[in-house]
Structure 1
């Protein structure tokens, strides 16, 4: 299993994504729903770049293929896997000082 360090520019529909996460709809998607939900719940916002950043468990080749098709491409632009095999703990520590994505984007909406 690989952990991906992801950066993406939030689109204007993140409130809809938040509702889908809260309803459990995304968590129920197989095989990636639980991992994606955990990652997006903890996602951070980089105010210097305006990007969402998170660490995602992923088994796809190319990286995030299913996740992008089913969810991510609807809500984010310029999705970039910055690092394809990051240590999860170290990855989250690198962005721990950033504000939470949901507090940032939903407060601005």
Structure 2
């Protein structure tokens, strides 16, 4: 989860944070919710059965969220 949060992406059109989390829980992110719910509203699982590499390739064009927050973008 730390790697995923360090690599968070930002969609400037929607204002959403994007990341890929390989997860085997039912429901997805069940174990991570305690932490994620402190920082994010309305978590949406886009596609539950995509592999991690393919998922990151889909969002690699978006800027890093932390660069947007710190103004380093």
- Same fold, TM-score > 0.5, yes or no: yes
- Structure with the higher fraction of residues in helix conformation: 1
- 1:102 maps to which residue? 66
RMSD of aligned C-alpha atoms? Answer: 1.0
Partners of 1:63 and 1:38 in 2: CA distance: 18
Q: Which runs of 4+ in 1 moved over 4 A?
A: none
Post-superposition CA distance 1:60-90 (Å, at most 9, x none)? 111101101x200000011000000112111
1:1-109 maps to which residues of 2 (within 5 A)?
36-68=1-33, 70-107=34-71
Q: TM-score, normalised by structure 1?
A: 0.62
Q: 1:106 Cα deviation (Å)?
A: 3.2
How many aligned residue pairs are there?
71
Structure 2 residues without counterparts, runs of 5 or longer: none
Q: State the shift of 1:105 in Å.
A: 2.1
SS of equivalent residue, structure 1 residue 52: strand
Structure 1 gap segments, 5+ residues each: 1-35
- What SS does the corresponding residue of 1:94 show, helix, strand or coil? helix
